[in-house]
Structure 1
């Protein structure tokens, strides 16, 4: 892991594979550790240079005040384009969850920076109430998720256990979530609640300016696109991925029947293979 300066922002990143290979850029959701090690290693073994990176206010990227971000969703999209350029792009850009929102806007605002697009477990509108034709979060799941008391953010084990119980509620692997949360905690710039929740939960997105809308522009995307979505995703139900795939010309939809919000270990090979077909 290292850092690179992109304009006036420092970005935490990690690279896999040959530096001269075609670039795959993985947008953190919010930290780079939202992307499984195994997926990165398999893409690299498939002849790609894989770079996963932290969004602002997470990991080793510039952290200022997650409670009042002085940047917008479009600034995060510009960071992706600038990083792709700095690494010798164009890049196959992939985003998961909130990182998928960044990736959509980046592909629209900076089309020359990207050669392909993968969108995993995301939706075509900003955080908040969705469009009437899109399924919202499963409310029973959200009630259970947000009824839990916050952990002691200074306690690594407590934070990891909090992540594990959340994963269990969402239908993800609690063992994997516990391990990843502990690794995220180790890389977080501080233990204050605002910084920890920005890293662990991505709460900065609830305070981020995500205007203007971009869904209506999705037909402008011309690069090969893969949309991956878990059939059991209760946070962004599968209808969101189906809508994205319908609205991006020629997009391929890959529904993982046994997956929820995360790509499970058993599906990493299938997702990797699908991503490699895009270039």
Structure 2
């Protein structure tokens, strides 16, 4: 019987960077590549969530972006890469793992990666899923007035950094009844301890070049697309998810009740079921 647990982390040389990659499940199954949001390492795609997807017959790939986790870090404030480079990282991981076409799941800011993949590299994408993302249109509602981030911590004080990450996660949960502070604190502590340079993690994704596809926009995505959005999202309120659904031909929307700008464990069942249906070609 094939194990659906992790095959272990490994460092791969991809496009001039070391990227830490971990896989779950059977390589013969359809591949799902999970692209985390800004300042988020692979750990924010929880290992148990990855296992739940893998046991449903999917080969799951999660990885650390540049400037997160065990992957290559650059000096804080000086990331020498753009959205296009991060998209090339996804393709490089697919190449290294022998994945010709992947079902790509992109979260938050790095929905921009999914956009570039879908428009400029359609031959490498079997489907797209956007989680807590947006078209970025000017007429969409701004973040909630209640969205107030804590003061930046002393990066030399690990406990203060963990507290900052937990406070930020709680803010982005938008008052969700599903937010669990203890579990978030444990994850944040692991993330901070594991990182090469958490000072770079806190800064660099927010100052990269936000370039886009060269062959079109959201309306030119041909891959089957699922949009997933929490109805408590305070950073990108639900109209952002609806607008993204409307911008992509044939896209479907899954609204996660009680979820904020995250994927809390309470909604994993709905998310996994929809993702499994979506990645076998059926509509959710």
Q: TM-score, normalised by structure 2?
A: 0.86
Contact 1:219 1:248 in 2 (8 A): yes
Aligned length: 263
- Alignment of 1:68 with 2:70, yes or no, is no
In 2, the alpha carbon distance for the partners of 1:214 and 1:137 equals 29
User: Which structure's residues are more often helix, by fraction?
Assistant: 1
In 2, the alpha carbon distance for the partners of 1:173 and 1:149 equals 21
Contact 1:222 1:249 in 2 (8 A): yes
Contact 1:59 1:187 in 2 (8 A): yes
**1:84-106 CA distance string (max 9 Å, x none):** 22222211101111232222222
Aligned-pair Cα RMSD in Å:
2.0
Equivalent residue, structure 2, for 1:232: 232
Equivalent residue, structure 2, for 1:98: 109
1:61-210 matched pairs, under 5 angstroms: 61-89=71-99, 90-125=101-136, 131-141=137-147, 144-145=148-149, 148-170=150-172, 171=174, 172-190=179-197, 194-197=199-202, 203-210=203-210
Q: TM-score, normalised by structure 1?
A: 0.87
Unaligned runs of 5+ in 1: 126-130, 198-202
**1:230-269 CA distance string (max 9 Å, x none):** 0010011111111111111111100112000111111101
Contact 1:137 1:237 in 2 (8 A): yes
In 1, the alpha carbon distance for the partners of 2:29 and 2:212 equals 35
